[in-house]
């Protein structure tokens, strides 16, 4: 089987990506979720260490998005335990808000706030949730906008930006809250092909900085270069997980082989 | 070559210039416009002519009635008694004070004028998008101005003689009722709309109950209940002012309508906006106030203004509990023996209609202006 390549500007030294920590960032134990009668998540067990980068792959409808949305309480689970950053998610709204403060999320459709400028999008949560003074929040926001290479767009509105730029703003917006964990829910799926690279570049840089990342993505090149572990899901279950090289070269499960043969050419 | 030519007698190249065709018909300028819009085809031309005939048939008598044959001056019915084919504007002129102030005592009318000025001072800067201090302005419009106006108009304190609400009337009362209705229906409508979408069963069902009951009955019924039934529920000795009860009824009714308009806006905000806000750790009220409502309200501005216009016109129904706003003040004056002629009712009603129209048209134009403004810049 051919190995997927990642075309980014930043040559990545995989030694940068070693996980040394033994701290647990996210722990999911026996998590189950139903939509009515439909069993979306079946006995999910997943432990993510601090600094780890996980890529979750799988066919559509396999429950990948639902799973990571459970991690910051956008979806609630009905059975099992989810502990994020030592806070267990229950139906206590306070705890959910606490978790959300520490977990940044990037969505497929960006979900920027169209009535606010780029800078206001980035400073809103630090000002209102972290009670940061406005000036300080703006300084922090500008730093992150520089990091995603669009400081010059700060005073525009999201509608005036391209998809790739909007997604980079969305990443900067999440980073402004100084999160300990970042969730990516198909961040490049809604983008034109030529914009995917600029977003992946930002994500690779973020990985190199040691951020704990959980990414649902079909970018197998990114998975191979950046992930510590690739997780394959189908029909609400984790079917297989392995280091990227092993995962791509020697998939164990028939379903995984089929999926990889369809997605890699 | 010449062989072929002689054999076939066919020329492939034109030897003579083609005849010059007329240029395309003009599409600009008044003639072009008329040709494109009024006389595009035989049927269009026919419709245009019919339209013109109808317009002339309606407008000419109207202009004759309102201007040519109208009586403009005069001190009593003598001036208009003989005039059966024209408007009696002298009647409107002579009663203008009453139409505006109702039975508010003459020497105290300056207080109503101050009220008008204070109202304009709140609304005009609020309506100008670039005017500064919007927060302060909102505080003024929703809290300071109503409280100050209440003291000013009611009196009974600070050396102002008391003017009981039974004496209030005319355009002034119409503005009081609609202002209170608008100023209360917006916040309460928002709360009811949020309540209706709430996950908490108690909040949800109470909101649904209030909205559906108030929308399901005519305003006249609500006013009747507020005016006549409500006092029966109070213990003896406790008596709320009749106007206050009417204001309560109108506001409740308008809030129910407003709630449904706002709910439409809330539903139009994409789910991703809620998720984006939640994922950043914003709480419910922060999310609602900073992310959802600004977008939702923007979407339903036309609906809000529509409700405002309806509310403004519905205020004329408070006459049912003997509160005399503009329309009923005008109607009352018909029976004034000084002015009772055959043309006064039509003239008075025309005047009232024009006043209502000016306000409603103003609101609708303003909403169009705001829509155009909001549509530029940050559309996704």
Residues of chain B in contact with residue A160, where contact means CB-CB under 8 angstroms, are 378
Determine contact, residues A25/A85, Cβ cutoff 8 Å: yes
Are B295 and B273 within 8 A, CB to CB?
yes
Q: Is A245 exposed, middle or buried (0-12, 13-18, 19+ CB in 10 A)?
A: exposed
Q: How far is CA B238 from the centre of its chain?
A: 35
Nearest CA among A165, A118, A120, A173 for reference residue A144: A173
| Nearest C-alpha neighbor of A219 from the set A241, A193, A238 | A193
DSSP state of B162: P
Q: Write out pLDDT tens, residues B324-364.
A: 889 999 988 888 888 888 888 888 999 999 999 999 999 99
Residue B191 CA to residue B179 CA, distance in Å, equals 19
**pLDDT tens per residue, range A222-238:** 898 889 999 999 989 99
A101 — contact with chain B (CB < 8 Å)?
Answer: yes
Query: Cβ contact (<8 Å) for A97 and B283?
Result: yes
Would you state the structure tokens that stand for residue B142, as one six-digit string? Answer: 């929703």
User: Does B107 touch chain A if contact means CB atoms closer than 8 Å?
Assistant: no
The pTM (predicted TM-score) of the whole model is: 0.82
A104 interaction partners in chain B (CB closer than 8 Å): 279
* pLDDT digits 0-9 by tens, A90-100: 888 888 988 99
Could you tell me if A87 and A64 are in contact, meaning their C-beta atoms sit under 8 angstroms apart? Answer: no
pLDDT for position A185: 93
Instruction: Say yes or no: B377 contacts chain A, CB-CB below 8 A.
Output: yes
Asked if B273 reaches chain A (Cβ–Cβ under 8 Å), the answer is yes
Residue numbers in A near B290 (CB within 8 A): 124, 128
The per-residue pLDDT for B87 is 84
CA A39 to chain B, closest CA, distance in angstroms equals 23
| Touching B: A residues 58-87, CB under 8 Å | 72-74
Taking contacts as CB-CB distances below 8 angstroms, the residues of chain A near B281 are: 97, 100-101, 125, 129, 177
Q: Does an H or E element contain A241, and which?
A: strand A237-242
CB < 8 Å to A113, chain B: 273, 276-277, 291, 295
Kind of pairing, strands A38-49 and A24-35? antiparallel
- Chain A CB contacts of B265 under 8 Å are none
d(CA B210, CA B259) in angstroms, rounded, equals 10
> Which residues in A lie closer than 8 A to residue B380 (C-beta atoms)?
114, 158-159
Q: Does B290 touch chain A (CB under 8 A)?
A: yes
Kindly state the average pLDDT of the residues A136-163: 92
Show residues of chain B in contact with A157, CB under 8 Å. Answer: 377-378
The closest alpha carbon to A34, from A80, A71, A88, A77, belongs to: A77
Angstroms from A129 CA to nearest CA on chain B: 6
pLDDT value of residue B88? 85
Distance from CA of A11 to the nearest CA of B (A): 31
- Name the residue among B278, B279, B282 with its Cβ closest to that of A128: B282
Rg (CA), chain B: 30
Identify the pLDDT of residue B16: 81
Q: Which of B276, B280, B291 minimises the CB distance to A177?
A: B280
Q: What is the pLDDT of residues A41-64, one digit of tens each?
A: 999 999 999 989 999 999 888 999
Helix (H, G, I), strand (E, B) or coil at A103: strand
Pick from B278, B283, B378: CB nearest A159: B378
Contact present, A237 and A256 (Cβ < 8 Å): no
Q: Is B17 helix (H, G, I), strand (E, B) or coil?
A: coil
Query: Distance between CA atoms of A163 and A145, rounded to whole angstroms?
Result: 15
How close is the nearest chain B Cα to the Cα of A158, in Å? 7
Question: Which H or E run contains A104?
Answer: strand A103-106
Predicted local confidence at residue B380, as pLDDT: 42
Whole-number Å distance between alpha carbons of B176 and B251: 12
**Residues lower than pLDDT 70 in chain B:** 1-11, 237-239, 375-380
Q: What is the mean pLDDT of chain A?
A: 88
Distance from CA of A264 to the nearest CA of B (A): 31
Q: What is the DSSP string of B122-181?
A: HHHHHHSTT-S-HHHHHHIIIIIHHHHHHHHHH-SSTTPPP--GGG--HHHHHHHHHHHH
Contact B281 A129 (CB under 8 A): yes
Among A74, A159, A174, beta carbon nearest to B278: A74
Vertex B38: Cα angle to B33 and B41 (nearest 5): 115
How confident is the model over A63-82, as a mean pLDDT? 91
- pLDDT bin (cut points 50, 70, 90) of residue A142 is very high
pLDDT given for residue B362 in this prediction: 93
Which of B273, B286, B298 has the CB atom closest to A111's CB atom? B273
Kindly determine whether residue A128 and residue B380, on different chains, have CB atoms separated by under 8 Å: no
CA–CA gap between residue B329 and residue B212 (Å, rounded): 32
Confidence (pLDDT) at B230: 78
A158 contacts on B by Cβ (under 8 Å): 378, 380
User: Alpha-carbon distance B188 to B254, whole Å?
Assistant: 9
Record the tokens describing residue B131, joined without a space.
């005017």
Inform me whether the C-beta atom of residue B376 falls under 8 Å from chain A C-beta atoms.
Answer: no
Q: Is-contact A232 A217, C-beta < 8 A?
A: no
- B307 CA: distance to closest CA in chain A (Å): 24
């Amino acid at each position: 089987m051919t190995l997927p390549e990642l075309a980014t500007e930043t040559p990545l030294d995989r030694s940068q990506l070693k996980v040394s920590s033994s701290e647990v960032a996210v722990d999911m134990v026996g998590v189950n979720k139903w939509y009515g009668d439909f069993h979306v998540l079946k006995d999910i067990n997943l432990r993510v260490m601090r600094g780890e980068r996980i890529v979750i792959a799988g066919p559509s409808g396999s429950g990948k998005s639902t799973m990571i949305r459970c991690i910051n309480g956008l979806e609630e689970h009905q059975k099992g335990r989810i502990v994020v950053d030592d806070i267990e998610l229950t139906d206590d709204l306070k705890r959910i808000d606490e978790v959300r403060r520490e977990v940044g999320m990037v969505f497929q459709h960006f979900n920027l706030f169209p009535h606010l400028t780029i800078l206001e999008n980035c400073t809103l949560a630090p000002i209102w949730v972290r009670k940061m003074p406005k000036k300080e929040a703006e300084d922090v926001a500008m730093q992150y906008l520089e990091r995603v290479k669009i400081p010059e767009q700060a005073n525009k509105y999201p509608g005036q930006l391209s998809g790739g730029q909007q997604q980079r703003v969305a990443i900067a917006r999440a980073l402004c809250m100084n999160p300990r964990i970042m969730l990516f829910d198909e961040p490049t799926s809604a983008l034109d092909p030529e914009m995917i690279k600029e977003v992946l570049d930002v994500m690779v840089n973020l990985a190199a900085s040691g951020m704990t990342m959980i990414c649902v993505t079909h970018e197998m090149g990114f998975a191979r270069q950046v992930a510590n572990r690739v997780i394959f899901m189908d029909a609400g279950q984790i079917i297989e997980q392995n280091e990227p090289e092993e995962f791509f070269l020697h998939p164990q499960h028939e379903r995984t082989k089929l999926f990889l043969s369809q997605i890699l050419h | 070559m010449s062989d072929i030519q002689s054999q076939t007698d066919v020329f492939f190249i034109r030897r003579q210039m083609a005849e010059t065709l007329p240029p395309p018909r003009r599409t600009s300028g008044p003639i072009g416009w008329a040709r494109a819009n009024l006389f595009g085809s035989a049927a269009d031309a026919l419709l245009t002519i019919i339209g013109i005939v109808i317009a002339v048939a309606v407008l000419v008598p109207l202009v004759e009635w309102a201007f040519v044959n109208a009586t403009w001056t005069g001190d009593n019915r003598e001036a208009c008694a003989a005039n059966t084919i024209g408007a009696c504007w002298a009647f409107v002129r002579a009663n203008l004070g009453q139409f505006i102030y109702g039975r508010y005592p003459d020497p105290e009318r300056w207080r109503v004028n101050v009220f008008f000025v204070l109202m304009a001072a709140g609304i005009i800067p609020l309506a100008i998008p670039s005017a500064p201090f919007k927060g302060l302005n909102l505080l003024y419009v929703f809290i300071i101005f109503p409280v100050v106006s209440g003291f000013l108009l009611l009196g009974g304190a600070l050396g102002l003689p008391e003017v009981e609400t039974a004496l209030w009337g005319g355009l002034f009362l119409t503005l009081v009722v609609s202002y209170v209705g608008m100023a209360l229906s917006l916040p309460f409508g928002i709360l009811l709309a949020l309540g209706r979408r709430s996950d908490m069963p108690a909040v949800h069902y109470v909101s649904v109950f209030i909205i559906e009951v108030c929308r399901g009955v005519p305003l006249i019924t609500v006013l009747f209940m507020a005016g006549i039934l409500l006092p029966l529920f109070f213990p003896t000795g406790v008596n709320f002012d009749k106007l206050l009860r009417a204001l309560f009824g109108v506001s409740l009714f308008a809030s129910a309508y407003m709630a449904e308009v706002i709910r439409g806006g809330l539903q139009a905000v994409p789910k991703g906006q809620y998720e984006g806000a939640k994922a950043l750790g914003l709480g419910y009220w922060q999310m609602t106030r900073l992310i959802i409502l600004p977008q939702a309200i923007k979407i339903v501005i036309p609906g809000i203004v529509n409700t405002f216009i309806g509310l403004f016109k519905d205020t004329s129904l408070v006459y049912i509990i003997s509160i005399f706003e503009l329309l009923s003040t005008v109607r009352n004056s018909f029976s004034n023996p000084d002015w009772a002629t055959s043309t006064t009712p039509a003239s008075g009603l025309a005047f009232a209609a024009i006043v209502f129209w000016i306000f409603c048209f103003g609101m609708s134009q303003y909403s169009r202006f705001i829509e155009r403004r909001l549509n530029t810049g940050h559309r996704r």
